[in-house]
Amino acid sequence: MTDPETLSVTIVDGYVDEPAHFGVPPYISTYPRYAAGALVDAGVPRERITYHTIDRLRDQPDYWRDVDEADLLVYLGGMTVPGKYVGGTPAEPDEVRKLAWTATGTSLMGGPVKFGVGEENAGATETERQDLDFDFVAKGDVEAAVYDLVESGLEGFNNRMRDIDEVSRWAQEGAFIVDQHPNHPEYLIAELETSRGCAYRCSFCTEPLYGNPEFRPPPTVVGEVDALSDHGVKHFRIGRQADILAYGGDGEAPNPDALRQLYSGIREVAPDLETLHLDNMNPITIVEWPEQSREGIRIIAEHNTPGDTAAFGLESADPVVQAENNLNVTAEECFEAVRIVNEEAGWRPGEDPEDAPTFGDDAPRRLPKLLPGINLLHGLKGEREETYEHNRAFLQRVYDEGYMLRRINIRQVMAFDGTDMSDTGAEIANEHKQLFKRYKKQVREEIDNPMLERVAPPGTVLPDVHLEYHQDGKTFGRQLGTYPLLVGIPGERQLGETVDIAIVDHGYRSVTGVPYPLDLNAASMNELTAIPGIGDSTAGDIVVNRPYESVTDADLGTEFDLSRFVTTRPLETAD
């Protein structure tokens, strides 16, 4: 019998991306925190628990010794809705096998990887269940498996789901593990779970495999935030649920009182938080219960931080695809939900919420508090050429009628055992790949670009942009939050720093910005020419005629209000 107090455990985070759960850096998912809490609850001392991300193992091979020497290796990962990632690269199947081969102790694998493994982390793929040479695979909750495995002396466990009391306890006890994340503390956002499971049964989705929704009471989530805050976390996303509006209710109807307890409680225990965002919101909830939903959306917008996004799972605007895949919202219903979120939460800090949605020259230069995002999924049963036109027409209507979308996510389906899509697989997605590419390019050019300019017009200020990498003579970074804008800044600046930026131009899904406010007396030529209305000639004149006592002293004669972008630092005078 292995004594828990002498057990050495290494947790390796291969990252997760599920329909209602995200854990690719700068996010940390619930899985490593819950697993760490379960270990402590089972008697393993905190100091004997080591946590590594897969990227750390790639970058610093010496840490593989922690995999080799551990009495217990716990691998956590799995991508069921893969996308493109900047902050980290999810583990590939061969890397996961290497972990199992390297481990000399007992090895356990868990997380959404239990639903299946493809040849790569990509859409338009089919998956199968594999153990990837691990001793144990948690078919139930990996945190419950961790607890039971330690309790059994590493002999085995029953595949079971954890209960509310366990997860509430483990969530708080495992908060300490964030200290070992490479991004801690400045650039780390903690994914929070309010519930899991779904009342609906869309053909492709793995979330219903968790069962009907089961909610954590507000005090348990607030207690977890309190514990994470004690460990230096200031960024949070309430992302682990199929529908935030259904929180604390019967699984479908909104419960505004529960939302008020949750959001106000978080603000009370973490008054200095810097990010409070969410992810999933079911548009059918808004349509079926409009007044309760409006109240819930107002509560969220009152307490969150700007730039928040409510992901809507429209998946397809084609009625044929909707019927064949048991999708729960029509295009017309989704449009109504888009309108309601815009009206209740499309306001910007510094203005009256009653004015929402606002955009244009008179709108304050901050991102709106909360906007919908649209998820579109291709390769579903019944998809045809007309499907692509239905989707494009829906997006065009949203723009033409004066509403805003913060994000349009277009991807291809993955087929998992246990879902209705397992019979169809990736056949349709593969047949339509060329059509998919042409349509995606059209949406990016005709919808994404003008929509982004509406959401974030020139002069919009994005505070605390974290600088992540260099490319083509520019520095790229993002804010922390739900689907943050990728920002390109002229020149190569110090990575790892955070800067405030003002937006000067727009791509399809990214923006160009300059440090805000930009000092006319110190700005580079590249920074100056990035500002609307300033060309090479004007920028050259600015540099030649420095220094300036004020922006008006420069007399630039541009059509734009340059005070949105620039300032002049006080000139030093001799004593």
- Cβ neighbors of 503 (< 8 A, separation 6 or more) are 456, 457, 458, 459, 460, 461, 462, 487, 511, 512, 513
Sheet with 235-240, edge to edge strand ranges: 27-28, 189-193, 235-240, 275-278
Ordered DSSP codes for 429-493: HHHTHHHHHHHHHHHIIIIIHHHHHHHS-TT-EEEEEEEEEEETTEEEEE-SSSSPPEEEEES-P
User: Once rounded to an integer, what is the mean pLDDT over residues 188-193?
Assistant: 96
- Residues of the chain within CATH 3.40.50 domain(s) are 1-187
Residue 101, helix vs strand vs coil: helix
- Cβ neighbors of 572 (< 8 A, separation 6 or more) are none
User: Once rounded to an integer, what is the mean pLDDT over residues 118-142?
Assistant: 67
CA dist 542 and 461 (Å) reads 23
| Counts of helices then strands in the chain (DSSP H, E) | 19, 24
- Residues of the chain within CATH 1.10.150.320 domain(s) are 460-567
- Domain 306-456, CATH: 3.30.750.200
pLDDT tier at 412, thresholds 50, 70, 90 = confident
Q: In degrees to the nearest 10, what's the CA dihedral of 126, 129, 134, 138?
A: 120
Residue 214, helix vs strand vs coil: strand
CA dist 398 and 379 (Å) reads 24
pLDDT value of position 225: 98
User: Once rounded to an integer, what is the mean pLDDT over residues 504-529?
Assistant: 90
Structural element, H or E, at residue 23: none
Residue 277, helix vs strand vs coil: strand
pLDDT tier at 126, thresholds 50, 70, 90 = very low
| Residue 305 · residue 267 · CB < 8 Å | no
| 53 closest CA partner among 17, 79, 80, 23 | 23
pLDDT value of position 80: 72
* Architecture in CATH of 460-567: Orthogonal Bundle (1.10)
- Residues of the chain within CATH 3.30.750.200 domain(s) are 306-456
| Residue 242 · residue 20 · CB < 8 Å | yes
Q: Is the model's pLDDT at 23 over the cut of 70?
A: yes
Residue that wins the pLDDT comparison between 416 and 86: 86
- Cβ neighbors of 291 (< 8 A, separation 6 or more) are none
pLDDT value of position 537: 87
User: Once rounded to an integer, what is the mean pLDDT over residues 76-92?
Assistant: 82
CA dist 16 and 139 (Å) reads 16
Please work out, in degrees rounded to the nearest 5, the angle formed at the alpha carbon of residue 368 by the alpha carbons of 363 and 373: 130
- Other residues' Cβ atoms within 10 Å of the Cβ of residue 458: 22
| 72 closest CA partner among 158, 131, 145 | 145
To the nearest whole number, what is the mean pLDDT of the chain? 89
Q: Are strands 9-18 and 27-28 parallel, antiparallel or unpaired?
A: unpaired
C-alpha distance from residue 262 to each of 69, 175, 217, 302, 341 (Å): 42, 19, 8, 12, 20
pLDDT value of position 317: 93
Residues in a beta bridge with 214? 196
Please work out, in degrees rounded to the nearest 5, the angle formed at the alpha carbon of residue 91 by the alpha carbons of 471 and 486: 30
Q: Is the model's pLDDT at 201 over the cut of 70?
A: no
pLDDT tier at 208, thresholds 50, 70, 90 = low
User: Once rounded to an integer, what is the mean pLDDT over residues 364-371?
Assistant: 95
pLDDT value of position 81: 63
pLDDT value of position 57: 98
pLDDT value of position 573: 47
Q: Is the model's pLDDT at 339 over the cut of 90?
A: yes
CA 410 to chain CA mean position, Å: 15
| Residue 471 · residue 376 · CB < 8 Å | no
- % of residues, the chain, pLDDT over 90: 65
Q: Is the model's pLDDT at 472 over the cut of 60?
A: yes
Q: Are strands 474-478 and 461-471 parallel, antiparallel or unpaired?
A: antiparallel
pLDDT value of position 97: 93
Q: In degrees to the nearest 10, what's the CA dihedral of 141, 147, 152, 158?
A: -20
Supply the DSSP symbol for 124.
S
- Domain 1-187, CATH: 3.40.50
CA dist 435 and 413 (Å) reads 15
